[in-house]
Amino acid sequence: MSSTDDIDRMVQEAEDYAAEDEDYAAEDKECREEVEVTNQAEALINAIEKNPEEFSNKIDATDKKAVQDTIKDLKAALEELQGEIADLKDKLLRTTAESENVRKRAEREKIDAKKFGISHFARDMMNVADNFQRALQSVTDEVRESGGTQVGNLIAGIHMTERELHTAFEKNGIVKLDPQPGEKFDPNFHQAVAEVPDGSLPNGAVVQVTQIGYLLEGRLLRPTMVLVAKNAADAPGGGEEGDGDAGDPDSKVSTTV
C-alpha cells in the first residue's frame, strides 16, 4: 500500500472517530438527563414517605388514594429509569472504550506509517547499493595498478558515494544485514541459495554472502542471500561411504525464509 493510501485511510478513520465522539456525547447527555429526572422523582418519593403527616394535612381524604397510586406508579417508573440508566452507563463505557481503542490504533498506525512509509523507496535504493557493490567488485587489482590517477579517482568516488548512501540509509533506520563467514544461518534474516562443500566450517554455517540484506526499523526489507556449508563430517552418518543422501532430513538447510 502506498503512503497516499495510508494517509487516506487514516483520514477516514479520523472522521469515523469524530462521528463516534458525537454519538458518545449524545449518549452522555441522555444519560445525564435521565439521572436528573430519576433523582428528582426519588427525592419526591422519599420526602412523602418520610413526612406522610405533613403531606396528609395538605391532601383531602378523597385524594389520598390517588396520591398513593401515584406514588406506586412513580416507584415503578423509577425502577424502570434506573434500569435504563444502567443500560446507558454500560453503553457509555463501551463507547468510551471503543473510542480509546480507535484513538490508540490510529496513533499506532500513524507511527508505523512514519517509520515504514519509505519501504518502497528503500527497496528501490537497495538495488542502487547493489550496483555500487558490483562495480567495485568488478575492478581487479591489475586495473587499479595500471589505470592511473583518473581510474583511481573514479574508484575513490564510487567508494565515497557508496559510503554516503549507506550513511543516508542508517539515518533513516535502514540497517545492513551482512553476516560473516562462519556465522550461524538464521532463517529469519537469511535465505540460502545453495549448499557448498566446506570442511572448515560447521554444517549449515554461512560461507559467503551473494546479496546483502536490509532491515527497516527492525523489520525485514530483504533477506541476505547466502551460500551455506555442507560439511559431511558434521552431518548425521557423515564419513561413511555411500550414505551421502542418508541421515536426518532435518539437517539440511532451508533455502527459504
What pLDDT score was predicted for residue 178? 93
Distance CA 91, CA 100 (A): 14
Distance CA 16, CA 102 (A): 9
Q: Which amino acid is present at 220? A: L
Condensed to tens digits (0 to 9), the pLDDT of residues 108-135 reads: 888 888 888 888 899 999 999 999 988 8
What pLDDT score was predicted for residue 174? 93
Name residues of the chain where pLDDT drops below 70.
1-25, 27-28, 34, 37, 41, 44-45, 47-67, 232-257
Closest of 169, 100, 95, 89 to residue 128, by C-alpha: 169
* Alpha helices (H) in the chain, listed in sequence order: 3-50, 52-57, 61-116, 119-137, 141-146, 148-171
User: For residue 215, which phi and psi values (nearest 5 degrees)?
Assistant: -115, 145
What pLDDT score was predicted for residue 45? 67
Q: Grid coordinates representing 244?
A: 551421502
What pLDDT score was predicted for residue 81? 81
User: Are 59 and 67 in contact, with CB atoms under 8 Å apart?
Assistant: yes
Other residues' Cβ atoms within 10 Å of the Cβ of residue 113: 16
What pLDDT score was predicted for residue 144? 80
User: Are 208 and 226 in contact, with CB atoms under 8 Å apart?
Assistant: yes
